Chain A
Amino acid sequence: MTETIHETFARLMTLDRDVLAIAWLSLRVSLTAVAIGLLLGIPLGAFLAVTRFRGRSALVGLLNAFMGLPPVIVGLVLYLVLSRSGPLGSLGLLFTPGAMVAAQAMLATPLVAALTRQVVADAEDHLGEQLRSLGLSAPRRAGVLVYDTRFSLVTTALAAFGRAISEIGAVLVVGGNIDGHTRTMTTAISLETQKGDLSLALALGIVLIALVVTVNAVAALLRGHAVRAYG
């Protein structure tokens, strides 16, 4: 145990190019997936918060349930869609970082949409009447409420990032854990643990945690600065 910890720190001190490449790929895939999740999830969540239509409650319930989608199931469904005989097989995305981005975006989007709906609905409770009285259309009201809740939505983005970067099931199935191509932090940690290289697995784990903490710290700093400036 002590020896493993010594080796772990030794490897951290001499971070090699492979570890950095894996970390960079993980970060790139997850940040891209979160960006897609925000682009799709925020408008969807805000729309559901400001509109009333038949079946809306069922849709909200479904979205809330999808926040807990098992990543490996998402991976499996996407695998079937992207496999050579699947409907999008001709794109040749399977076992590429693109497929991993798609998988993580599928996990991030419902999470972003469900949390955005809740945050925007709370804001709608005290601003909705005023915005309707000003004659603003539903899309405009949604836009104003998203702007009003932008600082809270940073937390939503961080939750989506946490879900994306920490999952393993979906990227393993659609990425294939190919060395130098689709190996991410989580798939590498799993592989190295199985191989018995615990010091490398631990070193990767520490790098992964450092990445998550850094992204959260940067977001918290930016949020704090913005809140101080705009209330």
Chain B
Amino acid sequence: MAGITLTDVVLVLNRTMILDRLSLAIPPAGITALVGPNGAGKSATLRVIDGLLVPARGSLTVPGTRRAFVFQKPALIRASAAANVALGLAALGLSRTERRARTGAALARVGLAHRANDPATRFSGGEQQRLALARAWAARPDLLLLDEPTANLDPGATDLVEALVAEMAAEGTKVVLVSHNLAQVARLAADVIVLARGRAVEHGPTRTTLLSPRTPEARAYLDGELPWSSLAAAS
């Protein structure tokens, strides 16, 4: 798949400029992380890529036919885990047999096959997010968009979700990850884009960008956020 490109994208919501002539070129494979302070436009960028928000100006190229979005708070309906996964397949025009097979495989993939018939709303936060990933994976997406998927999870659940995301990326799914957890970004992402005030201020390989930011905006953000010691220990 070719990369995702955004050129001079302008997004205005409630008379507030969210994306200000944002231009990006996201490589076609691996995991790309979007980082930046609150209000930088990270989540809005993911929504523009998914088509949930339509920019006022600018152009957008998103190759691939299937996208999946996993939100910070898993959006699950009051139904069984299996029904929630099957919901992700509802618009794909699959046969009932195929839907059932994919649902079972997806639940097994995230380690929740034994809870297929349990009400999803009773699951723990980590299990709910794994279920959301199962729903995304069942659709066999070319592009997986993750909006702070582990923000509400404990370290154990975070590890499981990260492992699943890394596996999906290794199998060829392009992943765009928004995260405030820079240690997680360092663990998962091949490249990092730093956003500030609706613009991309820096884009480069993860280590270089996190350890030696070139622009003052990226430096200001990373100085406040980067857990230097853990990153140094990880290297």
Contact = CB atoms under 8 A, between A and B. Distances in A.
> Which of A132, A137, A150, A231 neighbours the largest number of chain B CB atoms within 10 Å of its CB?
A231
A24 interface: no
Determine the main DSSP class of B at the interface with A: mixed
A58 interface: no
A130 B120 contact: no
Contacts of A144: 77, 87
Interface string A118-155: 00000000110111111111001000100110110000
A183 to B, nearest CB: 42
Contacts of A134: 87-88, 90-91, 139
Nearest to B119: A231
Contacts of B69: 129-130, 133
A229 interface: yes
A230 interface: yes
Contacts of B139: 134
Contact of B119 (A130, A136, A229): A229
A144 B47 CA distance: 22
B120 A136 contact: no
B158 to A, nearest CB: 21
Interface residues of B, number: 23
A134 B122 CA distance: 22
A135 B67 CA distance: 9
Nearest to B139: A134
Contact of B75 (A130, A135, A147): A130
A127 B75 contact: yes
Contacts of B47: 129
Given A130-B71, A230-B119, A231-B120, A148 B91 contact: no
A83 B209 CA distance: 80
B50 interface: yes
B73 A126 contact: yes
A150 B79 CA distance: 11
Nearest to A230: B119
Interface of A: 126-127, 129-137, 140, 144, 147-148, 150-151, 229-231
Given A134-B90, A134-B139, A230-B78, 13 more contacts: A126-B75, A127-B77, A129-B69, A133-B67, A134-B91, A135-B91, A147-B77, A147-B78, A148-B77, A229-B119, A230-B79, A230-B119, A231-B78
